[in-house]
Structure 1
Amino acid sequence: MTASRTPDAAEVQPFALVPVAAIAGTLAVVLTALSGRYGFHRDELYFLVAGKHLAWGFTDQPPLTPLLAHISTTIFGNTPMGLRVLSTLTAAATIFVVALIARELGSDRRAQTFAAVCAAIAGFPLGIGHLASTATYDLLAWMVIGLFAVKLLRTGDGRWWVAIGLSTGIALENKYLVVLPLAALLIAVLIVGPRPVLRSWWLAAGVVTAALIAVPNLWWQATHGWPQLTVAGGISEDDGTENRIMFIPLQILQLSPFLVPVWVAGFVRMWRSPTLRWSRAIALAYPILCVIVLAVGGKSYYALPLLLILVAAGATPTLAWLARGRTAVRRSLVAAGVVLTAITSAIIALPILPPSAVNAVLPINPEQGEQIGWPALTAAVAEAWQQIPEPDRSRATIFALNYGEAGAIDHYGPAHHLPTPYSGHMSFIDWGPPPNTQTGPVLLIEQEPTQYYESRFGTCHQVGTVNTGHSVDNEEQGTHLTLCTGPTQPWSTLWPSLRRYY
């Protein structure tokens, strides 16, 4: 049985298709123009390799992002620009969904357009829109789920649970984080309502729909010992304290300080407006999600998507504020805020600065630095490889301690006549080991000397150091290239001890 329409639901206005499309199109043009700058991100290099080993799951993630990376590079070319075509389209689609959420919350065309502008110039959507990452597709999934949730609460029509379940199932094939905002929303609905939406049998239908779509990956994880839970636990243990300390500052900085008044206004509007009383659970879901993320030691960006919903809600009161009192002054303030947001977000999130100046933005967006230096690393590895006597190279092995290094050598190495690299990091462990006939020297790539690994490869000495050429303070600057005499056991025996989850 379908629940009746919520009596005080806000009236839905016509959609501002043309201006929103223009904003999304402009964003797509900007992202495309800059997509070839710097180079691949370490995660992208990993996705390229994972795309050659497609499966229903990987050690650290579900299969969707590697699949999309494989599709994008197959169609558009194996370059940073080719890889990022689908992520650019995803970022543009996210702008549409934010505007649609504003529409569901009673915003007129002007407010929908303003919400789209705010989403397009916010730092977090810009940064992940530039890259092909799990977060890129996750943001769109969260926004789509948010749109369906708003429709569910506004209309009381339980059939929207099926749409939520469908989009959740697809999202679970990309990243498990989607369970966090859903949990926060369910808790909020239990606290402030409307509770009747939880008594619909359509809720069970939505859960079944999500489960059926997610089953292949969940089965893969179950049959492989749930490695993704191990990865998540390690990340929380290693970075949890820092994540908690930086959570509130990064909530402000990663979206934009200038957008704080907009999303605060959105929260207040959803909480206080009589015509939006049905949406109070969505407003409350944000602080609940923040508590959950802090409790598990998650990264600050885990809660940012819900801020975009608050931004969508805040568009209407922001424009109403503009129309009151000293209009010219207020318009100047808002215009200045929009311009400053666009400029600062672009500098922090996009590859605009010269590589030598990137260190200035790394405290807020360290992903900028992870796009620089991979060709230089590969060239340094090639130089170190030449130190292996030529007769021994056919039996020699390159072993990288992390997936970024292995991915870079896999991509750039053939131009230097380097062999396929191996690694025990994340899913690279599943794509090895080297043949047992590889009994020759091992070129070990390690950010710092690591006794655990060096002891497994005989006598070792350093033969090189990686220099990106730009003094970028990323993880690979100063990486040690260590040449060892060879594996101390057959690779098949040694391999399980080389696994590294984080």
Structure 2
Amino acid sequence: MGFQYGILTPYYDLQRDEYLHLDLANHLSAGYLSVPPFTAFTSLLIQWLGNGFFWVRFFPALYGVFTMVLVWKMVEMLGGRWFAQVLAALVFICSGMSRINLLYQPNSFEILAWTLLFWCLLQFLHTQQNKWLLWMGVVTGIGILNKYNIIFGVIGLVGGLLLSSHRQIFKNKYLYIGALIALVIISPNIVWQLQHGLPVLHHMKELSESQLVHVSRMAFITDQFIFFIGGAFIVVAAFIGLLFYKPFRPYRVVLLAYGLTMLMFTYLRAKSYYSLGLYPVLLAFGSVYWERIFTHDWTRYLRVLWVAIIVIPFALLVNAVFPVLRPAQISEKAAKFKALGLLRWEDGKDHPLPQDFADMLGWHSLAAMALQAWQQVPEADKPYTMVVTSNYGEAGALNYYNKGKMPLAVSFDADYVFWFPRMDSIRYIIKIGKRPQGETLKFIGRVVQTGTLQDTLSREYGYGADVYLLSDLSPVLPQALHKVLLEKQQEYTGK
């Protein structure tokens, strides 16, 4: 866990999505446009603990630790010893898993949920105790409340069981009781989705059109091995062991589930990291099989070599994969970052910084500028002042840094379209983004720019993140805003 804290340069702020996820705690609900509700309750816990950077970073790191412990337990169950556990731990740490577990996003818990699901399956196959089928239902339900992506893993697992010698499991009533448990757990979110017009469908459509369209199927497959850098041989060893190693024969369903899920992801042009939940269980099988190969005679002396193959490439790439270097230092080594494909953003183009790094710049400054604008509002007019930003990252950042100091910011973006305050009279607006123009100006008598973001490498700088104080507002502005807001809500809910 200490590794997650040690590799983060204090120069960087939180990442764009993290601010939205933390803001969910201020708007508890059974569902959201952006994510299922599990993240909101973790955010509430973080808020109770003080909302500091330490606790924001703590939970994804903690989920990573739990995942690694489960991998160790799988190694023990499969008959592995200390060297297999060392291999599994090193490959897990020296891989893209550590990058995932750095940021406060649903991804770290998702990987844990997938690993728990496979753990329950292995336990059932190993012991034939029906309680593990019930636990599979519990894990699936909680996993879906965290991120819908796990549904693809469940489909792959069901398909794998149907194609394996374990297909008789579908005659076991406890499997269906487990499915019912999962349905009960996710039912509040299902009701919320239905009440709001299934916004998850809009979100998937928007994701497909704006991001996944730029994903190459070949790049998706290639990235699966890049995630593990020097430890990819352990993943390959898992494939070989599950195919040919006799003690692994009862667990070949894992390989079938992997293959079917990967086919779905490849066809749908999924982002590379969507599949990471499939790998912890493979690390367990691969490490045990590799230990078996290098146990006898002189081959056991090669163990140091395999450790070096895992650790050294990762150590050489730490500065490129994690936010260790400052932006200016990254610019000096741009060729290295470009060669690794780290400068390519979700728009399919190369930029000066990796996207996550650019998304971790400028937020604190932007919040400070918004607070300065708020201080310029006359005291009598502050109850009638609204803070509006151009996107969810800006709104979340302002609410993280300025909560209790000024009104909560809102945006015509993502979940914020449902979080606007009811204001029948608006005297001032603090606007973050581009200068008002066009038809909007007829509602605004005075526009004063009070600040501008100076960090040119920040992703927000490219969007035009300035701060404006709008006053002398038209009395019909609230009705006009309500109309635009209603249209935006209908767009997100597909109505």
TM tier relative to shorter chain: 0.7 to 0.9
Deviates more, 1:130-139 or 1:203-212: 130-139
Counting only pairs closer than 5 Å after superposition, residues 215-294 of structure 1 correspond to structure 2 as 215-245=187-217, 246-253=219-226, 255-294=227-266
2:422 corresponds to 1:437: no
Question: 1:493 maps to what in 2?
Answer: 483
**Is 1:481 matched with 2:466?**
yes
Q: Which runs of 5+ in 2 are unaligned?
A: 332-336, 346-353
Letter aligned with residue 482 of structure 2 = S
Q: Report the Cα distance in structure 2 between the residues aligned to 1:214 and 1:350, rounded to whole angstroms.
A: 35
How many residues are paired up? 468
Counterpart residue number, 2:70: 97
- Opposite residue 420 of structure 1, the aligned amino acid is L
Q: Which residue does 1:59 correspond to in 2?
A: 33
1:86 pairs, out of 59, 68, 71, with: 59
How far apart are the structure 2 equivalents of 1:40 and 1:249? Answer: 29
Separation in 2, partners of 1:472, 1:308: 35
Tell me: CA distance 1:327–1:147, structure 2 relative to 1, closer, same or farther (3 Å): same
Which of 363, 368, 375 is the aligned partner of 2:357?
368
Name the aligned partner's letter for residue 302 of structure 1. Y
RMSD: 3.3
Task: Work out which of the residue numbers 26, 30, 49 in structure 1 matches 2:3.
Answer: 30
- What residue is the counterpart of 1:167 in the other structure? 139
Distance 2:82 2:35 in 1: 39
- What is the distance in 1 between the residues matched to 2:321 and 2:241? 29
SS of residue matched to 2:197: coil
Deviations 1:301-338 (A, max 9, x none): 11112122212211123234445787488445423222
Q: Shift of the alpha carbon at 1:376?
A: 2.0
Closer, same or farther: CA 280–53 of 1 in aligned 2, 3 Å: same
Q: Which residue in 1 is equivalent to 2:84? A: 111
SS of aligned partner of 1:84: helix
Between 39-48 and 94-103, report the one with greater CA deviation: 39-48
Secondary structure of 2:423's counterpart equals coil
| Structure 2 Cα separation of the partners of residues 456 and 498 of structure 1 | 21
SS of 2:35 mapped into structure 1: coil
2:149 is paired with a residue of what secondary structure?
helix
The corresponding residue for 1:295 is 267
Matches of 1:414 and 1:130, distance apart in 2: 24
Task: Tell me the distance in 2 between the aligned counterparts of 1:149 and 1:355.
Answer: 45
Are 2:33 and 1:45 aligned?
A: no
- Range that drifts further, 131-140 or 29-38: 29-38
Contact 1:462 1:480 in 2 (8 A): no
Q: Is the 8 A contact 2:113 2:140 kept in 1?
A: yes
Output the CA distance in 2 between the equivalents of 1:268 and 1:455: 66
Aligned residue number for residue 412 of structure 1? 401
Correspondence list, 1:56-205, <5 A: 56-75=30-49, 77-123=50-96, 125-205=97-177
State whether residues 392 and 441 of structure 1, in contact with CA within 8 Å, keep that contact through their aligned partners in structure 2.
no
1:72 and 1:85 in contact (8 A); partners too: no
Deviations 1:356-412 (A, max 9, x none): 345645549633332222112223445667888999776553311211100111222
- Looking at structure 1, the residues matched to 398 and 173 of structure 2 have their Cα atoms a distance apart, in angstroms, of 52
Distance across 2 between alignment mates of 1:146 and 1:258:
24
- Aligned residue for 1:14? none
1:126–1:349 Cα contact (<8 Å) kept = no
Cα 1:327/1:477, change in 2 over 3 Å: farther
- CA spacing shift, 1:194–1:345, aligned 2, 3 Å: farther
**Distance in 1 between the 2:4 and 2:28 partners?**
27
3-state SS of 2:101 partner: helix
Distance 1:467 1:362, change over 3 A: farther
Give 3-state SS (helix, strand or coil) of 1:399's partner: strand
Counterpart residue type for residue 472 of structure 1: L
Q: Distance in 1 between matches of 2:115 and 2:438?
A: 44
* CA deviation map 1:137-172 (0-9, x unaligned): 111111111111122233444432101001111112
What code does the residue aligned with 1:97 have? L
131-140 vs 471-480, greater mean Cα deviation: 471-480
Partner of residue 323 from structure 2, selected from 314, 338, 351: 351
The match for 1:5 is none
Q: Is the 8 A contact 1:376 1:466 kept in 2?
A: no
**Letter in structure 2 aligned against 1:90:** Y
Alignment of 1:327-346 (within 5 A): 327=299, 330-331=302-303, 333-344=305-316, 346=318
Q: Secondary structure at the match of 1:371?
A: coil
Compute the TM-score of the two structures, normalised by the length of structure 1. Answer: 0.82
Of the structure 1 ranges 272-281 and 160-169, higher mean CA displacement relative to structure 2 is found in: 272-281
Q: TM-score, normalised by structure 2?
A: 0.83
In 1: Cα distance, 2:438 partner to 2:204 partner: 23
Amino acid at match of 1:101: M
What is residue 428 of structure 1 aligned with on the other side?
416
1:177: Cα distance to partner?
Answer: 1.3
Instruction: Return the alpha-carbon distance in structure 2 between the equivalents of residues 455 and 195 of structure 1.
Output: 66
Q: Distance in 2 between matches of 1:452 and 1:249?
A: 46
Shift of residue 48, structure 1, vs aligned partner: 2.3
Once the two structures are TM-superposed, the CA of residue 84 in structure 1 deviates from its matched residue by: 2.5
- Indicate the SS of the match to 1:173: helix
Match of 2:386 in 1: 397
Q: Is 1:65–1:174's contact at 8 Å kept on the other side of the alignment?
A: yes
Equivalent pair of 1:397/1:441 in contact (CA under 8 Å): yes
User: Structure 1 stretches of 5 or more lacking a match?
Assistant: 1-27
User: In the TM superposition, what is the alpha-carbon distance from 1:115 to its structure 2 partner?
Assistant: 1.2
C-alpha deviation, 1:127, in angstroms: 1.7
1:251 is paired with a residue whose SS is helix
What CA distance in whole angstroms lies between the structure 2 residues aligned with 1:443 and 1:140?
Answer: 40
Report if the CA contact (8 A) 1:111-1:316 is conserved.
Answer: yes
